[in-house]
Structure 1
Amino acid sequence: MRFSVFLNARSMSPAEDGRLITDLVDHATLAAQSGFEAVFMPDHHFNGYMPVASDSFILAGYLAARLPDMHFGFSVVSVPLHHPVRFTERVNVLDHLTKGKLLVGVGSGTTPEEMIGFNVDYRDASPLAEKNLEIAEQLWAKRMDDPAVLIDNGPYQGRVLQRITPTPYGQNHARLMPVAMKEASARRAAVNGWPAFIPAFTPPKIGGTEPFVHVKKYFDIYKGMLLDAGHSDAVVKDALSWTTHTYQAVHVAESDEQAREELEVILKSYQAAVEREAEFNARAESNEANTKTDRTPNALTDDWIGTWCLYGSPETVIEHLKPYAELGIGNVLCGTTTGPLTEERLRLGDQTLRLMGEKVIPALKGL
């Protein structure tokens, strides 16, 4: 079982943005020193949501120079917000900078506010993402003398006459990581021999207290497709070793009581940030094309904590994760900076990294 750190911290004012970036660089460095194998970053825009996420490709390139042994990933790139030419180019550049240690999570995005900033209708996000990924594959495959690739996808237009540079680092482009919730997404990952994100809920409900039931359902479907795809044992092993289950908030302390007490402090601050963001997002929901169909539940409820949180003493966390390791989950993505990144929040996040590195990771790494 691998462990990765998720740089998902928020900023609450312009004055905090610069310090947040510096603090997350230091946090990622501590994660590398503590036995984590990858750094994952989100892709979000506006509202002080996640400042490093406004261009996480740049941050990944910077961190790759500082942490050359780490893998780097995105959870996830909002594909409708990227021109397919820029998407393929940036993936290839980062593929080289990481020496092939790149995992590109892909999805259709989150809030109407983000979509409006890029001239995208929220209701068109999914088909726009699918078409952008189809175009990206054409661009990656195009040789210099092949016919032009025509781009005609909503706000994204163009005609590529030559080829994308640089070429991918390896024989194929960097691994993409769909979310294995829809059959088409699970099959895309499986057919290509890519890892996948394995969700712990089934819409329309996006929380609950039995996450393993959902994880097993989606993992078994994805693994079955992967085994049926006819890949070599090496490809299957690599894909499963990076197949990822995500916890938005991971917190480890010396005792279960301390961990729960500190987690509630973290989640209260996180919930306040979410409510602030919801006020801004509501301004974007001014017509049918830009209205969300789901709502994030309160982070202090048992449903949210049950699905999205991993917390406790090192011993409790180890016992919680053993069934996931036995199932075959290859990578646990840990949100260790969830919420506004105050000085105290950073201290608690660093505490989690150290205890994970000292006790949790050594106990589970061989499973």
Structure 2
Amino acid sequence: MRFSVFLNARSMSPAEDGRLITDLIGHAEHAAAQGFEAVFMPDHHFNGYMPVASDSFILAGYLAARLPDMHFGFSVVSVPLHHPVRFTERVNVLDHLTKGKLLVGVGSGTTPEEMIGFNVNYKDAGTLAERNLALAEELWAKRMDDPAVTIDNGPYQGRVLQRITPSSYGEQHARLMPVAMKESSARRAAKHGWPAFIPAFTPPKIGGTEPFTHVKKYFDIYKGLLLEAGHSEAVIRDALSWTTHTYQLVHVAETDEQARDEMMTILRSYQDAIEREAEFNARAESDEANTKTDRTPNALTEDWIGTWCLHGSPETVIEHLKPYAELGIGNVLCGTTTGPLTEERLRLGNQTLDLMGRKVIPALKGA
């Protein structure tokens, strides 16, 4: 079992943006020193959800120079918000900078407010994402003398006459990681021998206190398709070793009681930030084309905590994760900076890294 850190902190004002970027760089370096194997970043815009998430490819390139042994990933790139040419170019550049240690999570996005900033309607996001990914594959495969690739996908237009530069780092382009919630997404990952994100809920309900039931359902579907695809053992082993289950908040303390108390303090600040953003989300959802059909529970409810949080003493966290290791989850993605990144929040995040590095990771690394 691998462990990765998710840099998902929020900024609450323009004055905090610069310090947050600096603090996240230090946090990533601390995670590497504690035995975490990858740094994952979100892809978000406008709402204070990690200022560098507006172009996390830049941060990943910077960190790749400082942490050459780490893998880097995205959880996840909102594909409808990226022109397919820019998407393929950025992936290839970062693939070279990381020496092939790149994992590009892909999805259709979650927030109407972000969509309208890019002239995309939320209801069209899934269709745009599918077509953008198909165009990206055409662009990656195009040789210099092949016929032009025509791009005609909603707001994204163009015609590519030559090829994407630079070329991919390896024989194939960097691994994409679909969210294996739909069979089509699980099948895409399995067909190519890519890892996948395995969700802990089944829409339209985005939460619950029995996450393992959902993880097992989606993992079994994905693994079955992967085994049927006819890949070599090495490809299957690598794909499963990076197949990822995500916790938006991981918090570890010396005792369960301390971890719960500190987690609730973190979640109260996180929920305050969510509610502050609600007004802007409501403005974005003022028409039918941008209305969401699902709602995430309040972060202070047991439904949200049960699905999205991992907390407790090192011993409790180890016991919680053992069934996931036995199932075959290869990578646990840990949100260790969830919420506004105050000085105290950063201290608690580093506390989690230290206890994970000393006790949790050694106990599960070979699982």
- Pairwise TM-score range, normalised by the shorter structure: over 0.9
CA offsets 1:11-38 (integer angstroms, 9 cap, x no match):
0000000000000000000000000000
The whole-number CA distance in structure 1 between the counterparts of 2:293 and 2:203 is 11
The whole-number CA distance in structure 1 between the counterparts of 2:110 and 2:205 is 16
Query: What aligned pairs does 1:201-240 form with structure 2 within 5 A after superposition?
Result: 201-240=201-240
The whole-number CA distance in structure 1 between the counterparts of 2:107 and 2:65 is 27
The whole-number CA distance in structure 1 between the counterparts of 2:314 and 2:49 is 30
CA offsets 1:254-288 (integer angstroms, 9 cap, x no match):
00000000000000000001111111111111211
SS in 2 for 1:3: strand
Instruction: Tell me the amino acid that sits aligned with residue 73 of structure 2.
Output: G
Q: Taking structure 2 as the reference length, what is the TM-score of the superposition?
A: 1.00
Instruction: Tell me the amino acid that sits aligned with residue 171 of structure 2.
Output: Q
Instruction: Tell me the amino acid that sits aligned with residue 70 of structure 1.
Output: M
Q: CA deviation at 1:49?
A: 2.1
1:41 aligns with 2:27: no
Contact 2:3 2:37 in 1 (8 A): yes
Contact 2:203 2:294 in 1 (8 A): no
Instruction: Tell me the amino acid that sits aligned with residue 63 of structure 2.
Output: L
Query: What aligned pairs does 1:53-92 form with structure 2 within 5 A after superposition?
Result: 53-92=53-92
SS in 1 for 2:48: coil
SS in 2 for 1:260: helix
Aligned residues: 367
**Could you tell me which residue of structure 2 aligns to residue 105 of structure 1?**
105
**Could you tell me which residue of structure 2 aligns to residue 255 of structure 1?**
255
1:350 aligns with 2:350: yes
Q: CA deviation at 1:107?
A: 0.3
Q: Which runs of 5+ in 2 are unaligned?
A: none
**Could you tell me which residue of structure 1 aligns to residue 184 of structure 2?**
184
The whole-number CA distance in structure 2 between the counterparts of 1:122 and 1:36 is 35
The whole-number CA distance in structure 2 between the counterparts of 1:356 and 1:45 is 30
The whole-number CA distance in structure 1 between the counterparts of 2:56 and 2:283 is 26
Instruction: Tell me the amino acid that sits aligned with residue 14 of structure 1.
Output: P
The whole-number CA distance in structure 1 between the counterparts of 2:321 and 2:112 is 35
**Could you tell me which residue of structure 2 aligns to residue 306 of structure 1?**
306
**Could you tell me which residue of structure 2 aligns to residue 291 of structure 1?**
291
SS in 2 for 1:162: coil
> Which portions of structure 1, spanning 4 or more consecutive aligned residues, are displaced by more than 4 angstroms?
none
Contact 1:144 1:163 in 2 (8 A): yes
Q: CA deviation at 1:47?
A: 2.2
The whole-number CA distance in structure 1 between the counterparts of 2:220 and 2:112 is 33
1:276 aligns with 2:276: yes
SS in 1 for 2:298: coil
1:150 aligns with 2:159: no
**Could you tell me which residue of structure 1 aligns to residue 7 of structure 2?**
7
Moved more, 356-365 or 47-56: 47-56
**Could you tell me which residue of structure 1 aligns to residue 136 of structure 2?**
136
Contact 2:249 2:338 in 1 (8 A): yes
The whole-number CA distance in structure 2 between the counterparts of 1:331 and 1:105 is 13
SS in 2 for 1:114: helix
Q: CA deviation at 1:311?
A: 0.3
Q: CA deviation at 1:195?
A: 0.1
**Could you tell me which residue of structure 1 aligns to residue 341 of structure 2?**
341
The whole-number CA distance in structure 2 between the counterparts of 1:184 and 1:48 is 32
Contact 1:49 1:277 in 2 (8 A): no
Contact 1:168 1:174 in 2 (8 A): yes
SS in 2 for 1:152: strand
Contact 1:314 1:355 in 2 (8 A): yes
Q: CA deviation at 1:295?
A: 1.5
SS in 1 for 2:85: helix
The whole-number CA distance in structure 2 between the counterparts of 1:153 and 1:32 is 40
SS in 2 for 1:197: coil
**Could you tell me which residue of structure 2 aligns to residue 330 of structure 1?**
330
Q: CA deviation at 1:69?
A: 0.1
The whole-number CA distance in structure 2 between the counterparts of 1:225 and 1:47 is 37
The alignment-based identity, stated in percent, is 88
SS in 2 for 1:250: strand
Q: CA deviation at 1:134?
A: 0.2
The whole-number CA distance in structure 1 between the counterparts of 2:295 and 2:183 is 23
Contact 2:8 2:49 in 1 (8 A): no
The whole-number CA distance in structure 2 between the counterparts of 1:293 and 1:12 is 27
The whole-number CA distance in structure 2 between the counterparts of 1:126 and 1:66 is 36
Moved more, 291-300 or 81-90: 291-300
SS in 1 for 2:133: helix
The whole-number CA distance in structure 2 between the counterparts of 1:118 and 1:177 is 23
The whole-number CA distance in structure 2 between the counterparts of 1:39 and 1:47 is 22
**Aligned-residue RMSD, C-alpha:** 0.5
CA offsets 1:155-185 (integer angstroms, 9 cap, x no match):
0000000000000000000000000010000
The whole-number CA distance in structure 2 between the counterparts of 1:214 and 1:162 is 45
The whole-number CA distance in structure 1 between the counterparts of 2:61 and 2:355 is 28
Instruction: Tell me the amino acid that sits aligned with residue 148 of structure 2.
Output: A
**Could you tell me which residue of structure 1 aligns to residue 159 of structure 2?**
159
The whole-number CA distance in structure 2 between the counterparts of 1:95 and 1:330 is 21
Q: CA deviation at 1:296?
A: 1.6
The whole-number CA distance in structure 2 between the counterparts of 1:110 and 1:326 is 31
SS in 2 for 1:213: helix
